[in-house]
Amino acid sequence: MRLFHFSDDPDIAVFEPRPVRIPSIRPAGREWLNGPLVWAIDGDHDFMYLFPRDCPRILIWATPDTSEAERRRWLGDWPAVAFVERHWLERLEAETIHRYEMPTQDFENLDDAGMWVARRRVIPVKRTAMSRLDQELVSRKVDLRVVDSLRPLKSLLNTGLHASGIRLRNARDWE
C-alpha cells in the first residue's frame, strides 16, 4: 500500500500536524479528526485529489449497496466519476500539483474512502509533479464530467453510491 498527500506547494520538506481549516461535524468519539493531524490518501483513492486545491468536486463510485440501475445511470462503464464545474476545466488542464509519497508506518486507517492520518510530523519519501490532471484522471479510469453547477448533484449524497464532496463551499450556488 502507498500513501500520498497532494499540494500546490512544491517545497514541503516536513508535514507538521495541523487542525483542519474548517471543522466538520464528527461522530461521537471522532471529534479528534478536527485536531492537529497530517492527512494522506491511499493509492486506490488518490484520484480524489488530482485537482487544483480549491476546486469543488463530487466523486462517485459503486458500493456493495449500489443498485444495478444506479450503477448504470451514474457510472456507465466507468469505475468512478468526477464532476467539476465548467469554469474549473481550464485550471484542471493547466495547473501542476505535487504528489508527496508518505511513509506508511505512522498513519492510522480511518476506514473512510482511503483516508489515513498521522498524529505527528511526517517527512515525505518522494515528490512528483503532476500536470494535465484531466489525463491523470482518465489513466485511473475516472470519467471526468463537466457541469455548469454541482448543486443539482446534491441528490447523489442520498444514493447507494459512495459520494464524496470536496471543497463544495467553493462551488457556485452551493448552500
pLDDT digits 0-9 by tens, 93-103:
999 999 999 99
| Pairwise CA distance, residues 150 & 168, whole Å | 8
User: Who contacts 54 (Cβ-Cβ below 8 Å, separation ≥6)?
Assistant: 167, 170
The CA–CA distances, whole Å, from 79 to 61, 109, 113 equal 6, 23, 14
Q: What is the pLDDT of residue 1?
A: 92
Domain assignment present for 18:
yes
Half-sphere exposure of 28 (CA within 13 A, CB side): 0
Domain assignment present for 43:
yes
The pLDDT tens digits for 23-77 are 778 888 888 877 889 999 999 999 999 999 899 999 999 999 899 999 999 999 9
Q: What is the pLDDT of residue 63?
A: 92
Q: What is the mean pLDDT of residues 118-144?
A: 95
Domains: count for the chain: 1
Predicted TM-score (pTM) of this structure: 0.89
- Whether pLDDT at 22 is above 80: no
> Residue 89's pLDDT band (boundaries 50, 70, 90)?
very high
- Whether pLDDT at 6 is above 90: yes
| Residue 70: domain span | 3-170
Domain assignment present for 158:
yes
